Amino acid sequence: MLKKNEILKTLMEEKQKLFAFAWTLLRDPHSSDDVFQEMVIKALNSESHFKSLLHLKNWSRTVIRNQCLDLIKQNKKQTFLTEEIIDKIEHDFQERDLAQENHSLIYLKDCISHLTEQTQEILKLRYSSNIQANEMADILNKKTDAIYKVLQRAHQSLKVCIQNKGIAQNT
């Protein structure tokens, strides 16, 4: 489950796309900004609801869509967008998010392959077998602190590697 700081960070990173989606429906920057802000408040109040970043992104678009449509009805405004067109716009956003997530998984697998065999084994034990550090220390005949240090360094190394691959992909 996501924490409030993860939710807020993700929504701020997605702000431009979410605002653009709202603006596409409303054609009013002030109302679009209001809709975005209301969605952020709802998201922060629903923090235990989100299972992943992708879930949060999909949820946020659905909330923005519904709020925009409610606002259009409430103000009795005409919209040139049909439900079908709105569905296609939302679907395009989802496709882009899935593609980005798939790239991240590909980058992660590649970055893991560049780690030492011992580090890969520790990551496998931790995340595939769900074994805690103290149990790993017993299995691998190492100190628990050493296992934590390897995990910490692996996380940092993977973070940098994935970021570098993402930057290289965008240039």
Q: Mind listing the pLDDT tens digit for each residue in 119-149?
A: 999 999 888 888 899 999 999 999 999 999 9
Inform me whether the pLDDT recorded for 171 exceeds 50: no
Q: In this predicted structure, what is the pLDDT of residue 170?
A: 55
- pTM assigned to the model: 0.55
Q: Same domain, yes or no, for 125 and 100?
A: no
Residues 65 and 140 in one domain: no
CA diameter of the chain: 70
20-61 pLDDT per residue, tens: 889 888 888 999 999 999 999 999 998 778 888 888 988 999
Domain count, the chain: 2
Tell me which residue range forms the domain holding 135.
Answer: 114-171
Q: Is residue 127 part of a domain?
A: yes
Tell me, yes or no, whether 42 and 100 share the same domain: yes
CB neighbour list of residue 34: distance below 8 Å, 6 or more residues apart? none
